[in-house]
Structures are given as structure tokens and as C-alpha cells.
Chain A
Amino acid sequence: MLSAILIMAAMGLVLGAILGWASIRFRVDDDPLVEKIDAILPQTQCGQCGYPGCKPYAEAIASGESDINKCPPGGDDGIKRLAELLGVEVKPLGEGLEPKPKSVAIIDENTCIGCTLCIQACPVDAIVGAAKQMHVIVEAQCTGCELCLPPCPVDCIDMVVVKEDISTWKWRYPIHRMRQVA
């Protein structure tokens, strides 16, 4: 009887030690779910979801703190993919949030006074310039987050919708009426 208890206790200790070691040795630093959610988010870093960037929003979704329908740039497609990943129902975009067409910010060079405030606001460092020098936005790197608009003291930044050209043109979804068969 005693030997059985001792054997079980010893086994428990050994296995516990192994598990304890494994939990330290194979610790997952970051929540892999956060990474997966972050990969779906459009990385505009616009903060329309109420979080200061896409990663914090991904963390909030992963912890169940926030809903999946708070990202307007991701659109319905993004919500669908998040819903698929998390195994939840697809929802319409949250109230007061509206998807906008993809735009980029353009600085009016005649009005810019070179205050550098927009440079500090840009989350992806897409604005080039220095104090009292004209600023310019690198269009290819602009995510269209609009964060540079409020700090501009002379209101010289405009959002311009990106036009479709030959290299970005897409075939439309074929819409055709099915013949009604009685």
C-alpha cells in the first residue's frame, strides 16, 4: 500500500517536473492568435477602431475585449476573414464606421509651411520633410489613415481617391441574369 503511494507520488513529481520544464522551455512569447489577426488587418494604423494601431486592435480582439467589426479599411471582406479565423458569426461594420475608397494624402505644396506636425503624426513615416522645408508624401507608402489631417495648422493636406489604372484594373464579377426555367 505504502509502496504504491510512494510510486505514484514519485511519478507525479517526475512528470510535474517535466511539465514544468517544458512550459518554460517551449514558452510561446507572443499569442499566435494576435499575429494571425494582425495579418488580416489592413495595417493602415488609422485608429478608427479606437485602438492606437492595428496590433493593439488585434490584441483586443484576441482577448475578447473588442468586436471584429471595428475596422472600416478592412471592409466586409476583412470581417469575413476574421470571422472565419475566429469561428464567429459575420457581422456588419460597427455603427458610425463607414468604409471609404482607398485614398492617399496629398500635400498642397503652395500652402505647406513646413511645421513637421504631420511628419510626427504619420504612423508609417511616409512623409518626407524638415522644419521650414516643404513636406511631401510618398504615395506608395501612404496607407490613407488620415492621421495627418487634424494636426496640419494650415489645412493643406487633401485625401485623394486612388484611381484605377491599367496595372491595378480588375475583371469585374460577372453579373448575368439566369434564365428562369419554369
Chain B
Amino acid sequence: MSRALYSFNGGIHPENSHKAESCGTPIRTMPLLPRYVVPLRQHIGAPALPLVQVGDQVLKGQMIGSAEGYVSTAVHAPTSGRVSAIEGCAIPHPSGLFDEAIIIESDGEDRSIEFTPLDWQNLDPSALRNRIREMGLAGLGGAVFPSYIKLNPGAPVKVGAGVGASGAGKPGAGHSRIHTLILNGAECEPWITCDDRLMRERAAGIMQGARIMAHMLGATTVLAAVEDNKPEAIAALRDAAAVFTDTATEAPVENIEVVAIPTLYPGGGGKQLIYTLTGKEVPSGGLSTDIGVQVFNVGTAYSLYRAIVLGEPLFSRVVTITGHVAQPGNFEARIGTPIHDLIAAAGGALPGCSGEIIGGPMMGFDLMDLAAPVTKAVNCVILKSPALFAPKPQPMPCIRCGACALACPVNLQPFEMYWFSRAKDFGKVQSYNLFDCIECGCCTYVCPSHIPLVDFYRFSKSEIWEREREKQASDHARQRHEFKTFRQEREKQEKAEKFAKAAEANKAKANTAGADDPEAARKKAILDAALARAQQAKADMAKEGITPKNTDHLPPAVTKEIAEIEARRGQETPDQTTMDIVQDATPAISQNPSPTAPKTDA
């Protein structure tokens, strides 16, 4: 409470946070739906690999897609039923493109697999992480980074394994590199209240999850940060934390502190939150673990509690539905719930609804298709109306007033990045640290010329990524082409060498034959003699005017056989009938196909 807080530069106070619309009512549970659409790519990284086939029966909580590769996590069936299709479906994505999803037709019974709680205090850390990977846990704050990677503290002395442990060269104090675990309950974007309701209603679960996280990371301090516009949530978390410090006897008591931080957007951004609480900046291009801090959303902590203590994989989350809708509020929605069903559960859109935003108004994007499902990343659906979201005024030229630079929480120079993005000078944009931009939208919010600055940064970022991919592909192609040229040269050379060797060997054989080998010489002599004899005989006969016949000089047995055959032939000649039949039949057969041929053509 008396903790010194630091304030980052910039940030904005949106004039109306619009939290009151949806935070007043408790979390409602969505009714069971007939159909769920579970996308395979709900997290950052490689999409999950489908484990089921069309027609398979699945149970609630059954893993239907397994993590593929390091940065990936599993997906699970939200209810029991039949897999009716695995195909491209609308997903909540700014592109409006389809992506592969498993469609489950609910059987209405909602039967689940057996959930087995884990003894997390005594389990091997690596086995525990694998379990979390199989449970499909990913950050529910919006970045959906697979949680099991972030829960790897990395070896303090040995070289760490993988992405989560990069920067292992900086050993932290004590036995773990990570000394502080931050629970992010700031929820700084306007309109969104799903974390607020979760903290008010399920603070005990969040704290349980936080304890497991602290245990896994070896963190000695746990800070739960909540913006001071959510006093009920702060009170609920403090109560839950107090209970733990009293009853925790078996494990070392974690130092859990609930900190109220000033309400300032984007105070819930990971790096801003770390700065607010610790006064330390995460280095550019680095990770929070480089300074010994790991940040998790409160929703992620709660889902970890469900996964470990209750044994339930991640198949539901809390979603705020608000804006131009009949009954705004929060819903516990299963992953795969089509958004139109969610809107229907909230009483339906009010007349004059002009669209939907996924996420908050600052960082969210317009939804293209209402059939898209709730995924692990969807924390809020806002229905727009012209009154709530006035159409943006037309942009005017940048006047270099610098308001964006003052508002930027990352201390960038947004107007410079804008100029170079507009000119597609991506090298220059990058030199202004484009990739440190968190796309919070403060610059766009304050811009007096109403320039959609963040759109330009997103454009530049994706172009730079694309170029990187192209460069890798072309380097790969160059290598392969060079190898092919090299291989062709080598094969040509090898062939030439082989021919040369074979020719040489033949020549050598011809030269050496007879000279060295007495046996070969003997054979050659016999052959030569036979040849000479035959030639002599031919010459003699030619001299005498005799043409040799192959029936001359035959042994008596053969002569006799020939005579017998001749005799038989003599007897058969009078009987001409068989011969005639054969001779008649032959043309008949050969003519036969011709009359039928036109028939097949016709």
C-alpha cells in the first residue's frame, strides 16, 4: 500500500471509460449451444494439430488439437458431441480471412472427461509445464502467448532452454532469475470489464493460480496490480490474499501484495505496468524476464488454477459484451461460441447497431463476420452505434505538433515513424524503433489531425515481416540453386572420370591380354586355328565350284530323321481339306472386325 509507484511518460485519460455499462451485473453463464467452432490457431505461434476426424464423438474437455512445435498450445472440446467438420471458418481476425477450425455439433448431454487435479507442489517442474501445454493455457489478456513457455524460469547458471529463457546470461538474485511475478488486473482499456468481474467474483481462484505461478517461477514477490477505478476488485483480491497468508502453512508464504495503480491508459501494458511497479524499464527488444519480472493476466492465473487444482483444461473464458446491446455484461462463454449467439444471449443488438469491435476501442479491430467464434484472445465484444462511436473525422496533414510524442508511453517519435511509413521507407521506420511500439493507440487518440497513425505502424510492421520472410525464402533458394549447380558440375566431372577410367581399362586389357595370361593365349590360339581352318575350307570349296549346303556332311541319325519327316509330308499332301479350311478362315477373321468398326464409332 505504501509501495512507491513510478509513472511512465505519456498515456491518456479517455473522457469516459464506459466501464459502468457492463461491470454492474455478475458473470452470467452462456446456455449450452447446438454448435461450437473451435479454431486451431487461437494462440501466438504454430496452429494446433487436429487430433480428431469428422464424425468422431468428443467429450467436454477432451483435447481435440495438440500443440505443434515449441510456441504452441493445445485446444479442447467445449462440450460433448460430434465433430461435424474440420474446415475453414470465419475467425475473429482483422483480415476477415477464414482459418481452419473444428466444428462440434453438441449432443446436449455436456458429458465431460474425468478431470484429474494435479499435485503441483510435488510435481517435477518440467512435467508440470508439459501438463499446462496440454491444458491449452495461453495468455488471456489478449496476446495469447502460450503460458507454459512463460512459466519456465530458466536455469540460473546453466544455459536456459528456448525462447522463454533468452537472456539467461543475466543471473538474478537468489535461486531464480525471476524474483517478481506481476498479476495484471489493470484492465486499462475503456469498455472492458471481464477482468474486473473475474477479480470481484473469483479472487480466491486467481490467488491460487498466482501461488502456482510463483512456485513454478521461484518468484519471491507477487504483485497484483489493479487500476484504482476498480475498488471492489482490489478489496476482493486483498481479502483473498489475506486468507492465503493466514492459512498457508505447508508452503513458504508468498509475499502477495495487491497494489492499486493510477488509472491511466495504457497502464495495463506489460512494460508500462512493470515500470509503474518497479521503476525498471524492459530493454528494447528484450523480455521482462531480462529484469527478473514475469507478467500474467489475472484471467490466465484463474485458468491456471482451474487447470491445475480442478484439472479442467481451458475451454471457457469470461467475455465482456457491451455497447449498443440490450443487456451489456459479462459472460462465461465456452471457447468456440459463435459471437452472434453471444450477442443473442445479451438480449441482442439494439436497433441502429453499426458494427462490432473485438477487444477494446483503442487496440481492437472491427469484426467482419458474426459467425466468428469466441477464442482465447477475445476478451470483449463492443457493439457500435453512431452515437457511441462517432465516425472518425477526415484526417488532415501532419503539422508536426508533437502531441503524439508526448502521449507515447514507449517514448517513441510517432510522427517520424508516420512520415517514413507513409513513404514506405521501412529501414528508417525501423531505426525509429518501430518494433517497440505496442500499438496502444494513444498517438492516434491525441492527434489533432485525426491521422490513423497506428494503422501506418501496423502496415510497416507487417511489410517488414513479409520482407524478412521473403529474404529467408530467397536465401534458401539461392543456397539450393548453388548446390544444384555444384551438383551438376560434380556429376559431369564424375561421369567424365568414369568414362576415362573405363576407356583406359579397356585399352590396358587389350594390350595385356595374351601376353600375361597363358590360358587366354591358349584359347586365342585355338580360336585362331579354327578360324583359319574354316576359311581354308571355304576357299577350297569355292575353288571347286561347290556351294555348301547345310544338309551336307550330316551324321546318319539326322539324315534318317529328315528322311522320315519327308516321308510323312508326302503322305499328308493328298489330304488338302485342313489346309483349305485354314486358308478360308484366315481372311474371314481378318475381315471380321471391319463391319463392326463403324458400329462402335456410331
Contact = CB atoms under 8 A, between A and B. Distances in A.
B394 A165 contact: no
B395 A178 contact: yes
Contact of A166 (B93, B396, B474): B93
B65 to A, nearest CB: 15
Contacts of A177: 394-395
A176 B474 contact: no
A141 B476 contact: yes
Contacts of B481: 43, 45, 53-54, 123-124
A41 B477 CA distance: 11
Given A171-B461, A176-B452, A179-B393, A166 B466 contact: no
B480 A171 contact: no
B93 A143 contact: no
Contact of A174 (B95, B455, B465): B455
The listed residue with most A CB atoms (<10 A of its CB), out of B91, B456, B478, is B478
Interface string A145-179: 00000000000000000001110111111101111
A178 B478 contact: no
Contacts of B99: 165-166
Given A43-B478, A141-B476, A166-B97, A181 B463 contact: no
B120 interface: no
| Secondary structure class of chain A's binding surface, majority of residues | loop
Interface in B252-294: none
A53 to B, nearest CB: 6
Given A123-B484, A126-B480, A141-B476, A174 B394 contact: no
Given A166-B41, A171-B458, A124 B480 contact: yes
The listed residue with most A CB atoms (<10 A of its CB), out of B94, B465, B466, B474, is B474
B470 interface: yes
A170 B466 contact: yes
A173 B480 CA distance: 34
A170 B484 contact: no
A79 B459 CA distance: 21
B477 A166 contact: no
| Secondary structure class of chain B's binding surface, majority of residues | helix
A78 B6 CA distance: 47
A54 B94 CA distance: 37
B211 to A, nearest CB: 36
A165 B47 CA distance: 12
B331 to A, nearest CB: 26
B474 A181 contact: no
Contacts of A164: 95, 97
Interface in A29-65: 38, 41-45, 53-54
Given A170-B463, A171-B461, A141 B480 contact: yes
Contacts of B396: 178-179, 181
Given A43-B475, A178-B394, A181-B396, A171 B455 contact: yes
A38 B91 contact: no
A54 B477 CA distance: 10
B556 interface: no
B456 A174 contact: yes
Given A53-B481, A179-B393, A42 B455 contact: no
Nearest to A123: B481
Contact of A125 (B397, B459, B480): B480
B164 to A, nearest CB: 22
Contacts of B478: 38, 43, 54
A118 to B, nearest CB: 13
Interface of B: 41, 91, 93-95, 97, 99, 393-397, 424, 452, 455-456, 458-459, 461-463, 465-466, 469-470, 473-478, 480-481, 483-484
7 contacts: A42-B470, A43-B474, A43-B475, A45-B481, A125-B483, A171-B458, A176-B395
Q: Would you list the 10 A-B pairs with minimal beta carbon distance, nearest first?
A: A43-B474, A174-B455, A179-B394, A170-B462, A43-B477, A124-B480, A171-B458, A169-B95, A171-B459, A43-B478
Interface of A: 38, 41-45, 53-54, 122-126, 141, 143, 164-166, 168-174, 176-179, 181
